[in-house]
Amino acid sequence: MKFQTPAGKNPIDRMKVVGKPHDRVEGPLKVTGAAPYAYERHSVIANQAYGEVVGAAIAKGRIISIDLAEARRAAGVIAILTAENAGGIGRGDFIFASPLAGPLVEHYHQAVAVVVAESLEQARAAAALVRVDYDRADGVYDLSSAKAGATKRASVPDAAIGDFATAFATAPVKLDAVYTTPDQSHMAMEPHATIAAWDGDRLNLWTSVQALDWAMRDLPKILKMPRDKVHMSSPYIGGGFGGKISSMSDAALAALAARVAGCPVKLALTRTLLVNNTVHRPATIQRVRIGAARDGKILAIGHENWTGNLPDAFVEQSTVPTPSLYAGANRLATTRVAVLDLPEGSSMRAPGEAPGMMAIEIAMDELAELLGMDPIQVRLVNDTQVDPSDPNHPFSTRQLAECLHVGSERFGWSKRAAKPGARREGQWLIGMGVASAIRGARTRTSAARARLDAKGIVTIETDMTDIGTGAYTILAQTAAEMMGIGLDDVVVKLGESDYPVSVGSIGQRGAASASGAVFAACTKLRQTIAQQLSLPEGDVDFVDGHIVSGGRRIPLGKAAAAGEIVVEDVLEFGPEMPKKYAQQAFGAHFVEVAVHASTGEIRVRRMLAVCAAGRILNPKTARSQVIGAMTMGVGAALSEELAIDTRFGYFVNHDLAGYEVAVHADIPHQEVIFIDEVDPTITPTKAKGVGELGLVGVAAAVANAIYNATGVRVRDYPIRLDKFMDRLPAVA
């Protein structure tokens, strides 16, 4: 099925199953421990041995020698993998650092060896006996010191419209400020883990990966083997946030270790290892300049971004939201990249928009203050229904103003003190903050298979994954709506690489793309059933478990009485819709904080997210995604930072004790409102993604609330009390 024109009326619009807050269909498996995660799949292959990674103790340099003698003599040791016996190692398209060091070391905790033993305890004990001598080289580990040497990447061209320099210089009101965001870690609950087993020249992996198609592209390249000789299984994932998009080092190391050991190997990266061994969100330095008229209309907006990474690796494009967010004729966006010798940076939830909005939305608050205007009013004045970078490119839907209006009313914005530091409750300074949210409504070609059996059960198969977001449930709802049956009559199977290829759980694409694939497969199933029963085309419906045509009601299962009906289809997204429409999801975040006047302690008291993200397929699972994202935004605002030892090039706080994520005690009442919206230009289900929209803007809303409470502006995240304590209002 090709998606080339806006979707018309179709079975999804009945909304008998879709759009309802159904519980997760896989929920009972998860709460009873019956949903198998990668490391726990004990029954998939017999005689599993255990792998333990030895991470490099330097960030840059060479391995002079590795002494394995004592480790090899240790109890239970089967084999030890190093670069010497690994064979040739290639490189995939997503991760650029090699999974195994030797002789060169590219980053701290890059694997130098994997010890395989009969038990985990034996593997861990033997790994401690491996002795490695290094020749340490000097490296560059600090973005601020490397900023002057940062260069432009061909993959991230500058964007300039109009005459920014002149418009900014002549603007009556000017803001020119620099904001910084730190390196951040995904810190998913489930660590990176893989079980690998060879069957001759065929490789089976039970792993934790968000996008199987990317993993099936990259891992064979790393192992230098044919793709059709690899099978991956990843039906349940305990969180990813971009850190498991493709095959990471655990999959490659488990596969290589299993080949050397001659037996299946299960390998999980310890919490301490995964922070430096896998990927993270890179730090940014962002300069935002806004020139405005006295009425608040933006005349010039410039967003300059500096970031760093290993050579040729991912670029954190913090300027991504700037071209589409607010109106303004004269615009500039640039990105410069420094080569750093830190562990590799890559995608983390809402790459680009998340750090970019941490800067832009503070800047909009600062502009409002310069203008003497309410922060919401400044945003409304600069709203637009056409792409600011191309006036001939209208938004497919854009309800940012509606989100701001609804949120303002629900949150009680009128009670906000216009003068910072003016509202007190005892020893607590109280403030409110707001920020807009934007995230691209992206899709990618996806496929699904649909089966109908004689009992009337419809089974959906696709390599789409569920990272805890509810994919099993929304795909079941889509199939149930299309086939006129209840959720109990749908079985959804995900996460096998021999299933039809989908987008995977990445970049807020999953819900729209994968539900569209199920729509396409079920459309073909409906057509096949009608043909098989010789029913007249155009006069067939599927209602309450029956096929209805010309006054006849035929039980659905009867169509498969002679044998299971199996169909497969691909929903292909052509360039037509994105060329005609700017496709984005919009929202608004509201936060109230209390800051202790004497100690600087910050307490988030209330949070509200208002989202316009197309048709909401399941408001319960969507709300869960948004409140999880809001929680992540609080962490980004107040505590999350990978601290770098700039002498030796590693992240010091590489565990959950030192890297502080937001916990239950940090999070207050959270409310989520979904604006009624369908977008027929996105997919046949008229849905957009929402999981990353719930994050972008949250940190800035927290920062703006802190400013409103205290009158102290902090432009460097995270906002720790040591950054503003000495500037708090005097205590009476």
Annotation says 692 is catalytic: yes
Cα–chain center distance at 259: 32
The first and second tokens of residue 629, run together, are 């994202």
Measured distance between the N- and C-terminal CA atoms of the chain, rounded to whole angstroms: 70
CA separation for the pair 499, 565 (Å, rounded): 16
Whether 241 and 230 have beta carbons less than 8 Å apart is answered as no
What DSSP element (H or E) covers 626? helix 619-638
Is residue 470 left, alpha or beta, with left meaning phi > 0 and alpha meaning psi from -120 to 50? left
Whether 348 and 383 have beta carbons less than 8 Å apart is answered as no
Neighbours of 566 (CB within 10 A): 16
CA separation for the pair 564, 451 (Å, rounded): 7
Picking from 525, 512, 507, the residue whose alpha carbon sits closest to that of residue 461 is 525
Q: Which residue blocks in 454-509 are alpha helix, DSSP H?
A: 471-483
Question: Across the chain, how many H-helices and E-strands are there?
Answer: 17, 32
* Phi, psi (rounded to 5 degrees) for 66: -125, 125
**62 CB burial (10 A radius; 0-12, 13-18, 19+):** middle
DSSP 81-122: E-TTTS------SS--S-SB-SSEE-STT-EEEEEEESSHHH
558, HSE (Cβ side, Cα atoms, 13 Å): 11
Picking from 196, 193, 191, 194, the residue whose alpha carbon sits closest to that of residue 260 is 196
The first and second tokens of residue 612, run together, are 């316009």
At 567 the three-state DSSP class reads: strand
- For residues 17, 23, 24, 30, the Cα torsion angle rounded to the nearest 10 degrees is -160
Whether 261 and 77 have beta carbons less than 8 Å apart is answered as no
Active-site option among 106, 304, 481, 692: 692
Active site residues: 692
